[in-house]
Amino acid sequence: MSSTQFLVVGAGLAGASAAWRLAARGFSVTLVERDVPASEHGSSHGSARIFRFPYPRRQYVDLVKASVPGWEELSRLHGSDLITRCGALDFGATRDPHGLAAVLTEAGVDHELVPQAEARERWPHVLADTDVLFHAAGGVLDAESTVNTMVAAAEANGAEVLTGWPLDRLERDGHGFTAHSADGRTVRAERVVVSAGGFLPALLGNLSLPDAFLRAFPPLQVREENAFHFPHRDPGADWPTLIHKRADISVYSLPGGRDAQFRGQKVAEYDAGRAIPSAAARSGVVDPANRARVVEYVKTYLPGLEPEPYAETTCLFTNTPTEDFVVDGVDGVTVVSPCSGHGAKFAPLLGELAADAALGTGTVPDRFRVGSARV
Ligand SMILES: Cc1cc2nc3c(=O)[nH]c(=O)nc-3n(C[C@H](O)[C@H](O)[C@H](O)COP(=O)(O)OP(=O)(O)OC[C@H]3O[C@@H](n4cnc5c(N)ncnc54)[C@H](O)[C@@H]3O)c2cc1C
């Protein structure tokens, strides 16, 4: 049986980051992944996630800022930028561009508030229904390349990576844990970091966690989301990312990169997919009613796209009720869940937070602690 100081479970953005940061701090690390890094069955696959600064809560803006040096380091390791800075738009009455702009001003993030009429001239392929918040530092991050870069960095720092290794349960003894795979293999570990994404709800009860921790754990809602790729009418047009929220619909959209064969825009309704008990219940079947809603949305608000998707997929969102992350642990097991469809932009920071939580170094925001008052 192999033995390690830290076992990290799951090689999505969170687990890859945790393995990298722990290995870089000099710990022996084994990273186990049920499938492959950036698995298509998880949430960190593919080429496109929005990188942006605006959040209604200043704390998250500061966390995006804190992740920037990590992105620079990862891009250097990767050999090219992992973030394409195409700029980002936020608009719609319930997105509150003016409120978001005020938070960015406070946080010292460059941005512009563009009046609606001017926004329609500047981005004619988008029909803004309010004033628009634009920030040039927003863009698209390549999730899969980020995971692979962090896994390679973990390995370069001595970590062992075991793919096709599904953790079934942790067994606690006096000095640590024996991790059992579903097919009977074992690894001994002094401490464990679990970052299993949408698989976490089904795994949480098998981690030898105390009842009080489990009772305080915020409920996790897993949804099978739908996403669609629409062709650009003008293949030469520059597209930013966008988040558009109205009382009747919340949509995000971004250049799809490799996932869209570089010829289209990914468009999805936010947090509108089918609720499922855990990732294993994912069907992979796109919801036709959701497709119809998104096509209608494109017809109405995105005149620069052909309103006929040429590709579509489902993916997993894992939500706490307040959309806050969970980064907390007890007695040697730390759980990291950058859930809620917005964790990718913090990727290099998630490993630092996981390592700090696991080592008790105390820089993890209280908000991410199990049992904190999340309002
Ligand atoms: C469609 C979509 C769009 C998104 N858009 C954005 C965006 O625009 N901006 C943004 O910032 N964020 C976005 N996000 C959110 C972001 O991608 C997620 O927060 C992030 O990928 C979650 O990473 P994770 O490591 O927690 O989970 P995952 O990526 O799901 O990783 C968990 C890993 O654990 C493995 N695993 C599970 N159980 C076990 C086990 N028992 N044993 C071993 N391995 C196991 C899985 O195979 C998986 O590889 C989006 C997410 C999705 C799905």
- Segment holding 33, helix H or strand E: strand 29-33
pLDDT band at 375 (very low <50, low <70, confident <90, very high): low
pLDDT digits (tens, 9 = 90+) for 206-249: 999 999 999 999 999 999 999 999 999 998 889 999 999 999 99
Q: How far is the CA of 198 from the centre of ligand 1 (A)?
A: 7
- For 82-137+221-319, CATH gives 3.30.9.10
To test the pocket of ligand 1, the residue of 8, 49, 145 to mutate (highest count of ligand atoms within 8 Å of its CB) is 49
Mean pLDDT of the chain: 95
* DSSP assignments along 254-306, one per residue: EE-GGGGTTSEEEEEETT-SEEESSGGG---PPPHHHHHHHHHHHHHH-TTB-
Please name the amino acid found at residue 191: R
pLDDT digits (tens, 9 = 90+) for 344-361: 999 999 999 999 999 998
pLDDT digits (tens, 9 = 90+) for 156-181: 999 999 999 999 999 998 889 999 99
To test the pocket of ligand 1, the residue of 44, 89, 147 to mutate (highest count of ligand atoms within 8 Å of its CB) is 44
The ligand 1 atom nearest the CA atom of 168: 41
Q: How far is the CA of 130 from the centre of ligand 1 (A)?
A: 32
To test the pocket of ligand 1, the residue of 90, 199, 327 to mutate (highest count of ligand atoms within 8 Å of its CB) is 199
- Does pLDDT of 3 surpass 70? yes
Q: How far is the CA of 220 from the centre of ligand 1 (A)?
A: 14
Q: What is the pLDDT of residue 342?
A: 95
- Does pLDDT of 185 surpass 70? yes
> Which CATH fold topology does 2-45+144-217+321-368 show?
FAD/NAD(P)-binding domain (3.50.50)
pLDDT digits (tens, 9 = 90+) for 254-286: 999 898 888 899 999 998 999 999 999 999 999
Q: What is the pLDDT of residue 32?
A: 98
The ligand 1 atom nearest the CA atom of 13: 25
The ligand 1 atom nearest the CA atom of 35: 47
To test the pocket of ligand 1, the residue of 21, 40, 43 to mutate (highest count of ligand atoms within 8 Å of its CB) is 43
Q: Which of 100-109, 198-207, 334-343 has the lowest mean pLDDT?
A: 334-343
Asked if 100 and 374 touch (Cβ cutoff 8 Å), the reply is no
Spell out which residues line ligand 1, taking CB within 6 angstroms: 9-15, 32-35, 39, 41-44, 49-50, 143, 166-167, 195-199, 203, 225, 227, 315-317, 337-339, 341-345
Region 30-40: mean pLDDT is 98
pLDDT digits (tens, 9 = 90+) for 54-71: 999 999 999 999 999 999
In this structure, the residue with its CA closest to atom 14 of ligand 1 is 341
Spell out the domain ranges in the chain.
Answer: 2-45+144-217+321-368, 82-137+221-319
Region 92-115: mean pLDDT is 98
Q: How far is the CA of 342 from the centre of ligand 1 (A)?
A: 10
Q: Which of 112-116, 243-247, 364-368 has the lowest mean pLDDT?
A: 364-368
pLDDT digits (tens, 9 = 90+) for 135-159: 999 999 999 999 999 999 999 999 9
Q: What is the pLDDT of residue 373?
A: 63
pLDDT band at 363 (very low <50, low <70, confident <90, very high): confident
In this structure, the residue with its CA closest to atom 35 of ligand 1 is 10
How far is the C-alpha of 159 from the C-alpha of 161, rounded, in Å? 6
Asked if 336 and 7 touch (Cβ cutoff 8 Å), the reply is no
